[in-house]
Amino acid sequence: MSIRRLATIMACACLGLPAWAEITVTDILDRQVTIPEAADRIVLGEGRHLSVLGLIHDDPVALVAGWRLERALDEPTMAAYRATFPAIDAIRTVGGGARSISAESVIALQPDLLVMSLMDANDPAMQRAREQIEAAGIPVVHVDFFSHPQENSIPSLRILATLTGAGDRAEEFARFYEERLNRVRGRLADSAIDRPGVFFHVHAAAQNCCSTVGQGVFHDFITTAGGQNLGATLTDGVQGNVSLEYLIGADPDFYIATGGTHMAARGGLVLGSGVEADQARQTFDALTGAPGFASLSAVQDGHAAGVWHMFNDSPIHIALIEYLAKTFHPDLFADLDPAATLAEIETRFSPVAVDGTWWIDNQQ
């Protein structure tokens, strides 16, 4: 229990008043989670969800006592937050390996709340840690911005907002998001259009081709934007692999690659935070000009594009949906401006600005 909370309890007790008004939410696992009042000292099971908190709080860093760094902020985003909120360096690490968290470290921080992801729910070690943390009296809530992003992102944002006292900001963002999502869905529903076959090449490099997406995550974005995800027939899970020969034989209508700064060391597509347009162009041209890729009809017809991979774990993916819709159906969505959508998110909702290159195509 925090000193501030203890002082509140003692003061209210002296006045004969209720110590707090409880807050109860139903999390993404359909579990009821109750806390005595809005949490102002939390631990993030995924460090990069600080940016999600930033959509609903002017100073998200002030809320975070600890975080797990297996899914950390990328370096340019971390630098932007550090420049605005130097206290970010005081956040304690509670785990860094894949799907691991130190229950002891979390308990020692005495947070009001631990935020875990839907992916954690499928990991026995993470659930054992959750049980230990809850046994110590620390509430745990599960959210999801990754596994089923369109279904769960806004409900998850509302859960976090309710638990941290930011309901109005969450509703403002929800309206912004849903207006844009409904515009894409409605226009597609009212139009007799063919859905092009789309191959999504994730973590794209010319070597060791090719990882692609099955269900959830990018699959949802593809189908909402009016495409047909070819990978859905190839793998039952979130991700699977096919050979370059298969890709050439499938010859999709659209070839979409995902990249990030993590792909620089692999000779792949580099996009995202801190990436200059020239570097993005060079790596995209190298990928689409490589043997096999260059022969794809999508590449030759100007139907190839690259997108930032890390759109996949934040509600800002609404801009990616707009980008894909405009890419697949340029006449139907000529008025969409996904870059303007990102800029508005940054100016209206985010406490920091991060430059970068988020998408690229072979028509530029």
pLDDT band at 99 (very low <50, low <70, confident <90, very high): low
Residue 161 lies in a domain: no
Tell me the Ramachandran region of residue 66: left when phi exceeds 0, alpha when psi lies from -120 to 50, beta otherwise.
beta
One domain, residues 247 and 332 = yes
- Name the β-bridge partners of 160: none
Based on its alpha-carbon atoms, the radius of gyration of the chain, rounded to whole angstroms, reads 22
Q: What is the pLDDT of residue 70?
A: 77
The answer to the question of residue 171 being in a domain is no
Cis peptide before 210 (omega within 30 of 0): yes
Choice among 109-113, 135-139, 187-191, 321-325 with the minimum mean pLDDT:
187-191
Q: Is 181 exposed, middle or buried (0-12, 13-18, 19+ CB in 10 A)?
A: middle
Would 159 be classed as within a structural domain? Answer: no
Structural contact between residues 266 and 205, judged by C-beta atoms closer than 8 angstroms: yes
Please give the Cα distance from 358 to 361 (Å, whole number): 11
Same domain, residue pair 277 and 136:
no
73 and 201 housed in the same domain: no
Q: What is the pLDDT of residue 20?
A: 56
Nearest to 147 by CA among 120, 109, 126, 169: 120
Q: Is 342 found in the same domain as 214?
A: yes
Query: In which band, very low, low, confident or very high, does the pLDDT at 4 lie, cut at 50, 70 and 90?
Result: very low
Residues 118 and 199 in one domain: no
Query: Are residues 103 and 197 both part of a single domain?
Result: no
202 shares its domain with 333: yes
What pLDDT does residue 175 have?
A: 98
Separation of alpha carbons 112 and 139, rounded Å: 7
Are 19 and 112 found together in one domain? yes
Residue 162 lies in a domain: no
Residue 173 lies in a domain: no
| Tally of CB atoms within 10 A around 50 | 23
Q: Which among 119, 143, 167 is the end of a domain? A: 143
Same-domain pairing of 132 and 231: no
CA-wise closest residue to 172 among 185, 146, 160, 154: 154
For residue range 122-146, list pLDDT tens digits in order. 888 889 999 999 999 999 999 999 9
Residue 64 lies in a domain: yes
Question: Does residue 321 share a domain with residue 196?
Answer: yes
Q: Is residue 172 part of a domain?
A: no
**Residue 107: its pLDDT value, please?**
97
Residue 264: its pLDDT value, please? 94
Which CATH number do you get for residue 118?
A: 3.40.50.1980
Residue that is last in its domain, among 143, 165, 181:
143
Are both 125 and 242 inside the same structural domain?
no
Q: What is the mean pLDDT of residues 51-60?
A: 98
Distance CA 115, CA 120 (A): 10
Q: Is 83 exposed, middle or buried (0-12, 13-18, 19+ CB in 10 A)?
A: exposed
pTM greater than 0.85 (yes/no): yes
In 3D space, the residue among 255, 151, 250, 149 whose CA is nearest the CA of residue 202 turns out to be 255
Boundary of a domain, candidates 116, 143, 170:
143
pLDDT band for position 98 (50/70/90)? low
State how far the Cα of 183 lies from the Cα of 69, in Å rounded to an integer: 36
Range of the domain at 74: 3-143
Is residue 176 included in any domain, yes or no?
no
354 near 274, Cβ under 8 Å? yes
Domain count, the chain: 2
118 and 230 part of one domain: no
